[in-house]
């Protein structure tokens, strides 16, 4: 099984990854609280279109190891850097979904763009989730605290219901997302480290990337659904598009947060077009 060890971390971390295809490398960074498996509808398409596709499990999730400490974005970006350096990747395209957008921006902040050709933020939390006086469209702090409280009291119970909002299930069930998909997501999410699940949630809830947008100097695709009830478009993609200089902003009408599952054809068309530019 392929692992890359981040030896620069305070606690060595073994990151599990899958590497398919050949050509320009595309790294897929998954969202919370899932794993690389959430990219199922994108991996095959990226490889089929002539790219090398690398997807990996964030520390604490999937098959990667689960250290006790360090789940802030600098630590997570360090894992991404370990992959890029170990595989000696150049001209790389980094694609972050939801929480994964934070690794994209923090990587560019901490390590620069010498190995990076392009970036993509899909349903991303960038630049800020939390509601503040200068971010009125964000998620209220009480709601975020409620998530942490639920995870501490009954993590699996919370995760069992979480995917419904992820996919706007009441509206999209049957036609765009199955009950089996909810069960699959629950299996993946419940398998993750309880500590990692909470600590990474705190990271995406409270990290403010607005001052780091200037560090995103590569062409960047931003894709969001206008029906995203998990990460509202006004506090994320709209601000990101305004703050990232070389950005291309695409809105998928009627799409929820988990548009990689509910709207794969629409997302793949936009993503592959961007990769090929």
pLDDT (tens digit, 9 = 90+) per residue, 123-162? Answer: 999 999 999 999 999 999 999 999 999 999 999 999 999 9
pTM of the model: 0.97
Mean pLDDT (whole number) for 258-276: 98
Number of Cβ within a 10 Å radius of residue 122: 29
Q: What confidence tier does 28 reach under pLDDT thresholds 50, 70, 90?
A: very high
Laid out side by side, the sheet with 220-225 consists of 3-6, 13-20, 52-56, 25-29, 92-97, 116-122, 220-225, 247-252
Which is it for strands 220-225 and 247-252: parallel, antiparallel or unpaired? parallel
- Mean pLDDT score, 76-103: 98
C-alpha to C-alpha distance for 103 and 243, rounded to whole angstroms: 17
Is the C-alpha dihedral spanning 220, 104, 262, 49 positive or negative? positive
Q: Which domain CATH number covers 60? A: 3.40.50.1820
In the residue annotation, 228 being an active-site residue is answered as yes
Q: Which residues contact 191 (CB under 8 A, 6 or more apart)?
A: 62
Question: For the CA atoms of 3, 70, 95, 108, what is the dihedral angle to 10 degrees?
Answer: -110
Q: Identify the pLDDT of residue 11.
A: 87
| CA triple 186-231-99, angle to 5 deg | 65
The one catalytic residue in 55, 163, 247, 257 is 257
How many folded domains does the chain comprise?
1
Distance CA 227, CA 210 (A): 23
Residue 236 annotated in active site: no
Q: What is the pLDDT of residues 190-200, one digit of tens each?
A: 999 999 999 99
Q: What is the pLDDT of residue 166?
A: 96
**Domain encompassing residue 35:** 3-276
Structure tokens at 226: 């206008």
pLDDT score of 273:
98
Mark whether 98 is an active-site residue: yes
With a cut of 70, say whether residue 1 has pLDDT above it. no
Report the sign of the C-alpha dihedral through residues 11, 145, 34, 274, in that order: negative
Q: Which of 35, 55, 98, 123 is catalytic?
A: 98
Q: Which of 64, 79, 228, 263 is catalytic?
A: 228
CA distance 61 to 47: 24
Tens of pLDDT, residues 219-231: 999 999 999 999 9
What burial class does residue 117 get, using C-beta atoms within 10 Å of its C-beta: 0-12 exposed, 13-18 middle, 19+ buried?
Answer: middle
């Amino acid at each position: 099984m392929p692992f890359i060890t981040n030896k620069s971390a305070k606690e060595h971390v073994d990151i599990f990854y899958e590497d398919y295809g050949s050509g320009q490398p595309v790294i897929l960074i998954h969202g919370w609280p899932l794993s690389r498996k959430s990219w199922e509808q994108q991996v095959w398409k990226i490889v089929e279109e002539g790219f090398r596709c690398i997807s990996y499990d964030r520390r604490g999730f999937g098959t990667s190891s689960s250290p006790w400490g360090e789940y802030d974005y600098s630590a997570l970006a360090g894992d991404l850097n370990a992959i890029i350096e170990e595989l000696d990747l150049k001209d790389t395209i980094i694609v972050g979904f939801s929480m994964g957008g934070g690794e994209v921006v923090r990587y560019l902040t901490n390590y620069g763009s010498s190995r990076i050709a392009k970036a993509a933020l899909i349903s991303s939390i960038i630049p800020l989730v939390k509601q503040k006086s200068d971010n009125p469209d964000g998620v209220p702090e009480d709601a975020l605290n409620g998530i942490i409280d639920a995870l501490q009291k009954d993590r699996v119970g919370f995760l069992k219901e979480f995917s419904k909002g992820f996919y706007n299930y009441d509206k999209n069930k049957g036609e765009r997302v199955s009950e089996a998909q909810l069960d699959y997501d629950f299996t993946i999410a419940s398998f993750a480290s309880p500590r990692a699940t909470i600590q990474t949630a705190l990271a995406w809830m409270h990290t403010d990337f607005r001052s780091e947008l200037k560090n995103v100097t590569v062409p960047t695709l931003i894709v969001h659904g206008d029906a995203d009830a998990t990460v509202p478009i006004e506090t994320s993609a709209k601000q990101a598009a305004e703050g990232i200089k070389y950005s291309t902003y695409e809105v998928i009408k009627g799409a929820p947060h988990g548009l990689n599952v509910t709207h794969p054809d629409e997302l793949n068309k936009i993503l592959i077009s961007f990769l090929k530019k």
